[in-house]
Amino acid sequence: LPRRKAKVESVCAGCSPPYDADNSAPLAFRGLPISELKNHSILRALTAEADGWEPGVVSAEVLRAQEEWEAVDNIQPETGSQASSDQPGQLISFSEALQHFQTVDLSSFKKRIQPTIRRTGLAALRHCLFGPPKLHQGLREERDLVLTIAQCGLDSQDPVHGRVLQTIYKKLTGSRFDCALHGDHWEDLGFQGANPATDLRGAGFLALLHLLYLVMDSKTLLMAQEIFRLSRHHIQQFPFCLMSINITRIAIQALREECLSRECNRQQKVIPVVNSFYAATFLRLAHIWRTQQKTISDSGFVLKDLEVLAKKSPRRLLKTLEIYLARVSKGQASFLGAQKCSGPQAPHSKDLTFTGVCDLLPHSSEGTWLI
């Protein structure tokens, strides 16, 4: 306390700010925004040598000031990267992000889509006789929107795109602050490098919308956090976001191959069905990964088998998801069970050899390709 007093006196000597009429606050501080107070030399001096000192009595005014101080959002910029300063601290919901894509001009991306798989010869005949039903005409525009979003890339100049990334980061890590849109912190979430945009090929922005759906839906947030913890296990670690992107790829293929048409026709919706199918497939992967003690070297084979199962029995996967979410809502143990994550921290995703669904060769015996 004597050191602190001496420090304050040395700083304030000769520069004591005048007080207002009721002697309650220095006039120099009047009208200053709360965000500027952090940089004020006098206040910095007052706190520089606190050495754990705490006031004996805390007034209501001090508490209010402390709340305002803690509410100030910090942007953590990084050299060569742009932080999302347009909407700092503001999360975005799945519906708001989806509405953005429903209102912007996507005509150039829509030209690239192939809504269904083209079949010829016996394959076309077999699909016609024994395959799933056609998607109802009134649902095809919604299907095309999903496939069009999958053609869109990540635009770091678009505030909505930035908010989607920020929301995913905050929900998975528990951080209250914005982060740079480029940086090593994205590797902690399971991207391969500092720029998430480079990992979205094959799934486009739909991959980020699926992650957003997973973390912003109250029913699936706990599941997302469970899978994220599993991905950081010191033995069974895997790149969480890369795995999610591969699940989105499976969902895109299932939609194009009309595997989801029956369920979409039944619910008279496409986007909710695709979202649930994505979540159910991710849940199934996590269950297999944990219970069968899979590691990163198994990734390609697990995803390939999972793709076959998902396309063959989508309704079964969706039912499993319903049961899981019902149990979670009742506070019961989940299908993933307790997962110990003790031991060394999982390495960055760039240090892992990960095989995606598009990379496993038909006769390969070992997973050695990156997505």
Predicted pLDDT at 62: 63
Which residue in 109, 113, 118 sits closest to 257, CA to CA?
118
Predicted pLDDT at 364: 37
Tokens representing 214 are 């997973």
DSSP state letter for 80:
T
Give the C-alpha separation, 38 to 62, whole Å. Answer: 15
What long-range pairs does 12-18 form, CB within 8 A, spacing at least 24? 12/42, 12/45, 15/42, 17/42
Buried b (16+ CB within 10 A) or exposed e, 226-235: bbbebbbbee
Predicted pLDDT at 258: 94
Residues making up the chain, counted from first to last:
371
Predicted pLDDT at 287: 94
CB atoms within 10 A of CB 189: 22
Give the C-alpha separation, 173 to 164, whole Å. Answer: 14
Predicted pLDDT at 327: 87
Low-confidence ranges of the chain (pLDDT < 70): 1-89, 117, 119-120, 123-131, 333-371
Q: Where are the beta strands (DSSP E) in the chain?
A: none
